[in-house]
Structure 1
Amino acid sequence: MKNIKYITSLIVAALVFSCSTENDLIDLDSLAAPSNISALTTVTQDNTGKVTFLPKGEGVTRYEILFGDGTIAPAYVGPGESVEHTYKEGVYDAKIIGTTLNGKKTEVTQKVVVSFRAPENLVVTIENDLAVSKKVNVKATADFALFYDVYFGETGKPDPISANNGESLSYTYQNAGVYTIRVVSKSAAVKTTEFTQVFTVTVVNKPFTSAPTPPNRQAGDVISIYSAKYTDVAGTNYFPDWGQGGQGSAWAEFDLNGDKMLNYIKLSYQGIALADDKTIDVSGMEFIHMDVWTADLQKLETSLISKTSGEKPVVKDLVANQWNSIDIPISAFTSQGLTVADIFQLKFVGTPWATGSVFIDNIYFYKAPAALLQIPIDFESTTLTYPWAGFGASDFGPIPVSVVANPDKTGNNVSNKVVKIEKPTGAQVWAGASLDLDSKVDFTKGTKVKINVWSPKAGAKILLKMEVSTSPKDGNGNPTVFVEVEATATVANSWQVLTFDLTTSSAFNSANAYDRVILFPDFGVAGSGTSYYFDDIKQSN
């Protein structure tokens, strides 16, 4: 341990003398412990039991290897270095310890199988990667084996890649095509066991994940062309063709587990046309947004087409095999002389021409909001809309929800506007209404939520639920990240401030991006034709 401290002190001293300012110094205490520690273990095929350890990990300045066979002295190696050790036949638990510059350690145990018997029962899996084009994943497992080599059969690449028995390795080819892949499983015996497969390496030609979910926006801040998030311009034709089908170009609406997106195939140029004689005025918007995925296009040219001033293009580079979120300023079109008050078509051009395919989702124009729908909410704004969505009627449809004039301007609430949630006769016990916020809740302003509530009866439970709308969905399509807290109205036909302490729920986490507020009036009781009113949703400590 004294040696480690001495080495560290020398390194620190060197850093101090080599830096010109105090701000350049490295904060050793902030360095994290090493991660992803392992070792590639290979053995010679000569019945000697000579095993080579090549350790690897992140944040490591030195490795310590304990061989697990009774050898007392450990071996020390630096990053990229290896060490040999001779074993008798058997199975051993070796320990690989990685150490950082500040002395933090991470230890893993790795099984080392040394057998003078040739590998048996070799099982090999070879698969194209679902996410990366021309990438192949291989996994080989055999009894008595320690590691395996893979020869991928690509011209000019004769050397194998090695992996521990039972672990996976990957290789990315320069070109798609048919290759002969040879797997050689090895133990400490002279004899090896092989597997060969003629395998077709493919290009990933479609996304396997959805595009990022657009943020919540006020209706006046967005004009949507194609998006499940916002209301699209009615009557839009997403596949007008414009004669490109004759060049081999095609189109489809691609469905990814219920998430639909536009797919232009062998894109020369294709586009979008609004309904006959319809135009949109986007002069009040600041950007056009698109999410674009491709396996083989290098660039996408996007044009806005005006009825009076023609079309102007903007070209964007694309990164293959991932979603590209593109935001083009409207000024990039108007600076070319385009009038954007009468847009009636959009056009997309692919580079290279008529060769690659593209998937496009979330096409909309937007501007920065003049005001955000966020807590606190008092329903008095003349610029914001409050798009409450009711649910849980007797037929499982929506229940009535609306922003109305305050029906009882007395007591602690003399404001003008409130939200009214009706619970009709036969409504579900979980009937309520939800409101999407334009930004996540900032819990530095408090972890308690106070709501002014008007209930037609005392004893009614009010359930407040807050959700992360973009979190994974459950079997009913509801977000799985949420927090629920109850409070009870103690008076009838009068305004009363109820407090919901979010910290009383074990599910609450202030780091979560809660962006949806849901109210359940008279929770747990079926509807009886009554109405509840809510106002002044605020935070407090």
Structure 2
Amino acid sequence: MKRFYQLITCFLVLTLMGCTEDDRGTNFVDEVAAPANISITFDITQDNSGLVAMTPGGEGATGFRVAFGDGSGNPVDLNPGESTEHTYAEGTYNVKVIATGINGLTTEFIQPLTVSFQAPENLMVTISPVIGDVFSVDVSATADLEAYFEFYPGESMEETPIQFMEGETITYTYAAVGDYEARVVALSGGAATTEYTETISIVNPLLLPIDFEDPTLNFSFVDFGNVSSSVVPNPDMSGENTSATVGQSVKPAGAEVWAGTFLQLDDPIDFSTLNNIKVNVWSPASGITVKLKLENATDDTIATEVDVTNTVSNAWETLVFDFSTSDLSQDYQKVVLFFDFGNPGNDSTYYFDDIDLTQSIADVFELFENFEGATPPSFIDFGNIGATQVVANPAPDGNNGTASVAQFTKANGAEVWGGTFFELNNQAIEFAATKKMRFKSWSPTAGTVVKLKIENADASVTHEVDVNTSVANAWETLTYDFIDAPVATYVRVVVFYNFGTPGDGTVYYFDEMEVGEDALVSTIPPLPVEDFEGAPPAFISFGNIADTQVIANPNSSGLNTTANVAELFKTAGSEVWAGTFFEVGAPLDLNNYSNIRVLTHSPTAGIVVKLKLENADASITHEVDIVNSFANNWEELVYDFSEAPAADYVRIVIFFDFGTPGNDSSYYFDEIQLTN
């Protein structure tokens, strides 16, 4: 919206010279007075652009010359009634108007002009952290009536602001952690400004691993039970810990048996690939209980703890705490340590360091290839080695007595990088608790480099590890540590023998290839069994419950938005073992699948939902129990039938609230699938 100001100033009328009748004719022009009552109207645009429209006026003027008074540009000539525009910076100017009459006489008039800008309005500032860089922020701003912006980071009193325009985002990096009073100033192009202030907290987040070496991190110990904890120089830079700085916990005489300390992480611990935590500890005594407890940041009832007994005194020792049996779906941010748990303090000082996720110490492995099947893997050889093939074990011994093994021949002249690979069948490797692989190897020489490499489907993610053989002409187990392997779905296994050396015709063998526990995942898509959307199966109910029937989904939300589901109504007084079953047209494929997935809906949580499989005459059966977790919501229950005896299972039996008499409750189930 524009407002207009009109400034009109008039001069006194000049006295005209007298004339007589003898002066009549064209000579009267010479007697016309110079223009009078000169004025100029200013229309100032109120958008801080400095644009001013000017219209001169006056009596007896046949033309005007306007000089803008700011030293920029030549004067402008105008006819009566015409206007001109000019853009000014903020300030006060003397605008000169020269009015010219019909006879060339002129009159000058000077009108002061003041151009002032309004302060910017509706200033909106966005300051956000840069992902992956805890010391940097992105800054942007919008406003009305602004010319540009200036950012003052707040690191010093004499800092030079950073200028930026609307629509532009600048990135600023702070030198250290701390709280900074940052300012964004919107400038009008003149003296008027609008300012925004925000406190920016630069915090280096505390995450695992914790090694106490970074001075920018805030190690704020919370002690309890009368212990005192702090960060100190390493008192014993030897053995397993030669780092400079460690954590210290002093348990004075009389401290509580449960005394300890904790650090709160800025993000929950990520247990997606590893579920053990290691801590380097130093204790003046061996045989003490060191408890590691994990807690939720806001709810201390969500917690889990593991005890480990140390085995050395006056030396550093790495303790591994196994959280594999804990509920790792919860968010844990507090890392709590107790030294000599269960005993009162005795003025002992304990030290700890290098807290981090680590692999399982149990080293449990799963077999993924033993070359004993009817169909061997399809080997792809490269680098001019001989054809890799499955052969009879040439040297059965105590380390490997299997019947069949893979033979690797590094032919004469084969490349130094010659090798072979095969792809996993219907499964992939996604490392879990133990990021290791191992296999049985036979080599005619010790000290031979055997490289193991894994790749994802398009080889865009790979990782390789070298291990040297240690015996000649005998089977041995080679173990490969893939702790540094990127997170990926690996489907290709590559083996190189005597890597780095040209082939000389030597023959090697490998067998019994394994990967760390829970790393094998199926790539076979789930196989639907029944979704109750077509012709309903013939249910047989038993134990005095009502007939099971297919109905419209009573709660089409969450995990299950399908149209139809099966309802099991457990009538009041029905048997504790009451349930229902139906039969499928073909035996369930438990050769390629090991689990059965069922979506269930119950009015109560904590009930036993039993799933049972039977062959046609029920002479072979297998059942699995799961306790549900949710009430009045759809929930996915996955039943593990990997231990089921081999049989043609055609009957699926389901029991809700098994072990409890009926109480007129309705239960629903749907989307039965075979999975892995």
Report the TM-score, using the length of structure 2 for normalisation.
Answer: 0.25
| TM-score, normalisation: structure 1 | 0.30
For CA contacts below 8 A with separation 6 or more, give which structure has more relative contact order.
1
Structure with the higher fraction of residues in helix conformation: 1
Largest Rg, 1 or 2: 2
